[in-house]
């Protein structure tokens, strides 16, 4: 019996060290996930391969036990008046000390590799990188002082030619329940 209890104690102590890094929102040291929660009005500027600007709205909330944020938006990204549904999934890995970001579109476009984000404390921005085996992407996420959110991203091929470039901004359309509650208690 003592051996069983000792074995259980040893396993309980070692198990966290043996498991891969868990994605836990409360372990997000920079609060990026919580800051993204809400309803955002967006403007997206595509610079390459074809120039275009479109607007949309994204609703972002907690999912999967508050370990991820899920963004769901609709954008007129073809300029034809029809909206394409886009879903983003974002988490923070304490083990890897980075954010993972995936994007899926209803028109069957799938991001071939997750974006990997690392926080630059000095610049107060997230540096994004992606590599799908042939193309490399780099970008920035930034929360502006006025409460808006901006980003840029550029993808280059193996010859260092820009094959995709975009930037954009989002402004919160409504307050989240957490924001409303904290203001009501002040």
Provide the domain limits for residue 26.
20-184
- Per the domain annotation, does 175 fall within a domain? yes
Question: Among candidates 50, 68, 169, 144, which has minimal Cα distance to 87?
Answer: 68
- Per the domain annotation, does 29 fall within a domain? yes
- Per the domain annotation, does 84 fall within a domain? yes
- Per the domain annotation, does 111 fall within a domain? yes
- Per the domain annotation, does 116 fall within a domain? yes
CATH number at residue 73: 2.40.128.20
- Per the domain annotation, does 15 fall within a domain? no
Domain count, the chain: 1
- Per the domain annotation, does 11 fall within a domain? no
Blockwise average pLDDT, block size 10, the chain, 186 residues:
36 33 60 90 92 90 92 78 85 92 79 85 91 88 91 94 94 63 38
pTM: 0.74
């Amino acid at each position: 019996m003592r051996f069983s209890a000792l074995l259980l104690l040893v396993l309980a102590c070692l198990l966290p060290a043996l498991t891969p890094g868990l994605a836990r929102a409360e372990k997000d040291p920079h609060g990026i996930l919580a800051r993204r929660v809400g309803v955002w009005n967006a403007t997206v500027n595509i610079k390459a391969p074809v120039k275009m600007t479109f607007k949309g709205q994204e609703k972002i909330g907690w999912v999967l036990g508050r370990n991820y944020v899920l963004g769901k938006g609709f954008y007129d990204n073809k300029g034809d008046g029809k909206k394409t549904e886009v879903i983003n999934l974002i988490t923070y890995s304490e083990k890897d000390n980075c954010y993972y970001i995936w994007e899926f579109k209803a028109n069957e476009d799938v991001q071939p590799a997750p974006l990997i984000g690392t926080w630059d404390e000095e610049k107060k921005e997230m540096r994004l990188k992606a590599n799908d085996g042939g193309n490399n992407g780099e970008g920035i996420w930034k929360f502006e002082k006025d409460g808006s959110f901006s980003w840029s991203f550029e993808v280059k091929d193996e010859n260092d030619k820009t094959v995709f470039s975009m930037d954009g901004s989002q402004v919160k359309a409504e307050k989240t329940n957490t924001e409303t509650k904290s203001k009501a208690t002040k």
